[in-house]
């Protein structure tokens, strides 16, 4: 049975034999010896394999190139070279899949633009390997974080008739014939569709999550989310995975406290369990990244009222591309200025004007704002948005009427306030 290279380097016993398999990252070959860097995806650096001319098939090594797949048996020995503690002295080498000079990922640095043209191969690169190892660790940590706090993990529908954000950004799901859909009074008759109504891919599991929170207390969802938002930026994706906790008997302060604990926890996991990957990102992708993540992991997050944030931005005298006025949402340039110039670290902005926020957010007593929050971090801006939900049926119905939101499609959501309603909050 093969041993993963990461396990070999961390737990292997010098002098013992191991079977490893992987792909060639580089090869240096002479008449007497070959040095092969082999990587199996379990770590960033891989392991150096030393193959001497005494191997039965040593001549075949001249035919392999970067990207070739090998299976080998070797003895783990201390390495005389700097930068590596151990290497493998090859005893037997089997070439399971050759790769010639036409392999697109030769030993050099490739631009992200180029990698986009060979998306099927880019998981084999150092960058994507590091990204997905980190992502895997963080996904495990997300479940661990909520399990340690006794949150129930629930799966909310991926195909849904509700648009939680109300922006009409759903990818539509239908079984109707696009070339000849049934019509009723000149419009598509969705009553003949598979679900008997308009449906789409979920933009959020929040509304359904609230139902579970009012039954189980504390829950979270973690799954795929889709947005038909045509924004070609580095911060927008049409498909991504979103974390959405909901807590019963909780207010906005509880919501912010959980979000702070959550972000700091994940930053610590990234630093402690993915050190090799984080150092790679700091070295190859963005200088100063490690320092920033450490700063977030150790920081006490500031709490700033929206009113105060507007006042501070206007008082700063800084020049912005977007106006700073009460009643307007903060743009990324404003968010970054707050975290980088005013606070010098992460900050929550609390209690936004109700007219720029969603119908389900709890209205504050001032009649102007809702109990909403955004978490901002340096160099990025907003990474979390959340709120205390409106638990009062009459207030919720009134707000829906003001915004022209039909009650009938959300009758089930209103029913959750009709019996045993309680304060609750969440974020995503």
The domain that holds 388 is classified in CATH as 3.30.930.10
- The conformational region for residue 166 under phi > 0 = left, psi -120 to 50 = alpha, else beta, is left
- The conformational region for residue 57 under phi > 0 = left, psi -120 to 50 = alpha, else beta, is alpha
Domain boundary among 73, 97, 121: 97
Instruction: Please check whether residues 55 and 190 belong to one and the same domain.
Output: no
Domain boundary among 48, 71, 97: 97
Look up residue 389 and give its DSSP letter: B
Task: Give CA–CA dist 143/85, Å, rounded.
Answer: 34
Cβ atoms of residues 21 and 47 within 8 Å:
no
Name the strand (E) or helix (H) holding 254. Answer: helix 252-273
For the domain that residue 80 is a member of, what is the CATH number? Answer: 2.40.50.140
Q: Does residue 166 carry a pLDDT above 60?
A: no
Instruction: Please check whether residues 35 and 151 belong to one and the same domain.
Output: no
Cβ atoms of residues 44 and 129 within 8 Å:
yes
* pLDDT computed for residue 165 by the predictor: 61
Is position 108 within any domain?
A: no
The residue assigned the tokens 């029913």 is 415
* pLDDT computed for residue 84 by the predictor: 86
The three-state DSSP-derived secondary structure of 398-416 is: HHHHHHCCCCHHHHHHHHH
**Is 305 strand, coil or helix?**
strand
Instruction: Please check whether residues 398 and 297 belong to one and the same domain.
Output: yes
- Predicted TM-score (pTM) above 0.85: yes
Is position 254 within any domain?
A: yes
* pLDDT computed for residue 167 by the predictor: 58
Domain boundary among 42, 75, 97: 97
Burial 352-369 (b: 16+ CB within 10 A, else e): bbbeebbbbbbbbeeeeb
Average pLDDT over residues 280-296: 96
- The conformational region for residue 217 under phi > 0 = left, psi -120 to 50 = alpha, else beta, is left
Instruction: Please check whether residues 176 and 324 belong to one and the same domain.
Output: yes
Dump pLDDT digits (tens) for 77-92: 999 988 889 999 999 9
Q: Count of domains in the chain? A: 2
* pLDDT computed for residue 135 by the predictor: 98
Is position 102 within any domain?
A: no
| Distances in whole angstroms, Cα of residue 163 to Cα of each of 4, 104, 124, 201 | 45, 42, 37, 9
Is position 124 within any domain?
A: no
Is position 336 within any domain?
A: yes
Instruction: Please check whether residues 200 and 262 belong to one and the same domain.
Output: yes
Is position 222 within any domain?
A: yes
Average pLDDT over residues 237-246: 95
Instruction: Please check whether residues 206 and 279 belong to one and the same domain.
Output: yes
Q: Does residue 201 carry a pLDDT above 60?
A: yes
How buried is residue 394: exposed, middle or buried, by Cβ count under 10 Å (0-12/13-18/19+)? exposed
Dump pLDDT digits (tens) for 364-396: 999 999 999 999 999 999 999 999 999 999 999
Instruction: Please check whether residues 81 and 187 belong to one and the same domain.
Output: no
Kindly state the greatest CA–CA separation across the chain.
Answer: 85
**319 backbone dihedrals φ, ψ, rounded to 5°:** -95, 125
Residues 6+ apart with CB under 8 A from 246: 206, 209, 210, 212, 213, 218, 219, 220, 424, 425, 426
Instruction: Please check whether residues 53 and 141 belong to one and the same domain.
Output: no
Instruction: Please check whether residues 187 and 267 belong to one and the same domain.
Output: yes
Average pLDDT over residues 315-321: 96
* pLDDT computed for residue 163 by the predictor: 72
Give strand ranges (E) for 126-201: 152-153, 159-160, 172-173, 183-184, 187-188, 199-201
Residue 41 belongs to domain spanning: 5-97
Dump pLDDT digits (tens) for 389-422: 999 999 999 999 999 999 999 999 999 999 999 9
Residues 6+ apart with CB under 8 A from 162: 207, 409, 410, 413
Alpha-helix runs per DSSP H in 188-243 = 206-216
User: Which pLDDT band holds residue 204 (cuts at 50, 70, 90)?
Assistant: very high
Average pLDDT over residues 348-362: 98
Cβ atoms of residues 312 and 359 within 8 Å:
no
User: Which pLDDT band holds residue 234 (cuts at 50, 70, 90)?
Assistant: confident
Task: Give CA–CA dist 347/127, Å, rounded.
Answer: 30
Average pLDDT over residues 260-287: 98
Cβ atoms of residues 372 and 382 within 8 Å:
no
Instruction: Please check whether residues 86 and 183 belong to one and the same domain.
Output: no
- Integer-rounded Cα Rg, in Å, for the chain is 27
Q: At what angle do helices 411-418 and 393-403 cross, to 10 degrees?
A: 150
Cβ atoms of residues 44 and 68 within 8 Å:
no
Instruction: Please check whether residues 24 and 144 belong to one and the same domain.
Output: no
Instruction: Please check whether residues 376 and 420 belong to one and the same domain.
Output: yes
Task: Give CA–CA dist 293/125, Å, rounded.
Answer: 24
Is position 300 within any domain?
A: yes
Is position 419 within any domain?
A: yes
* pLDDT computed for residue 119 by the predictor: 96
The residue assigned the tokens 């209103």 is 414
Task: Give CA–CA dist 226/242, Å, rounded.
Answer: 10
Cβ atoms of residues 160 and 413 within 8 Å:
no
């Amino acid at each position: 049975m093969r041993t993963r290279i990461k396990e070999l380097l961390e737990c292997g016993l010098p002098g013992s034999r191991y079977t490893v398999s992987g792909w060639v990252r580089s090869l240096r070959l002479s008449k007497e010896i070959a040095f092969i860097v082999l990587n199996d995806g379990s770590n960033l650096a891989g392991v150096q394999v030393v193959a001497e001319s005494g191997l039965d098939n040593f001549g075949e090594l001249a035919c392999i190139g970067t990207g070739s797949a090998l299976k080998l048996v070797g003895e783990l020995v201390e390495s005389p070279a700097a930068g590596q503690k151990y290497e493998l002295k090859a005893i037997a080498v089997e070439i399971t899949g050759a790769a010639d000079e036409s392999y697109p990922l030769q030993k050099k640095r490739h631009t992200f633009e180029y990698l986009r043209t060979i998306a099927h191969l880019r998981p084999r690169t150092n960058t994507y390997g590091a990204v997905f190892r980190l992502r895997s660790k963080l996904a495990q940590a997300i479940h661990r974080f909520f399990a340690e706090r006794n949150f129930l993990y629930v799966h909310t529908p991926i195909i849904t008739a509700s648009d939680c954000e109300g922006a009409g950004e759903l990818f539509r799901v239908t079984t109707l014939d696009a070339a000849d859909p049934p019509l009723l009074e000149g419009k598509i008759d969705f009553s003949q569709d598979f679900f008997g109504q308009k449906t789409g891919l979920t933009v959020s599991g929040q509304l359904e999550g609230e139902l579970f929170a009012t039954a189980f207390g504390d829950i979270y969802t973690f799954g795929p989310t889709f947005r038909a938002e045509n924004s070609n930026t580095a911060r927008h994706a049409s498909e991504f995975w979103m974390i959405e906790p909901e807590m019963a008997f909780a207010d906005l302060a509880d919501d912010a406290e959980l979000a702070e604990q959550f972000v700091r926890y994940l930053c610590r996991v990234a630093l402690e369990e993915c050190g090799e990957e984080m150092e790679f990102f700091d070295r190859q992708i963005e200088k100063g990244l490690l320092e920033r993540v450490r700063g977030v992991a150790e920081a006490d997050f500031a709490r700033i009222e929206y009113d105060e944030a507007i006042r501070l931005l206007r008082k700063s005298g800084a020049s912005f591309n977007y106006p700073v006025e009460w009643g307007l949402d903060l743009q990324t340039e404003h968010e970054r200025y707050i975290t980088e110039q005013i606070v010098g670290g992460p900050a929550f902005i609390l209690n936004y004007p109700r007219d720029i926020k969603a119908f389900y957010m709890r209205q504050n007593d001032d009649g102007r704002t809702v109990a909403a929050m955004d978490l901002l971090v340096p160099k990025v801006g907003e990474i979390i948005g959340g709120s205390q939900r409106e638990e009062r049926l009459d207030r919720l119905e009134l707000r829906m009427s003001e915004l022209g939101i039909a009650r009938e499609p959300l009758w089930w959501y209103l029913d959750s306030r009709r019996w045993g309603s309680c304060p609750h909050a969440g974020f995503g």
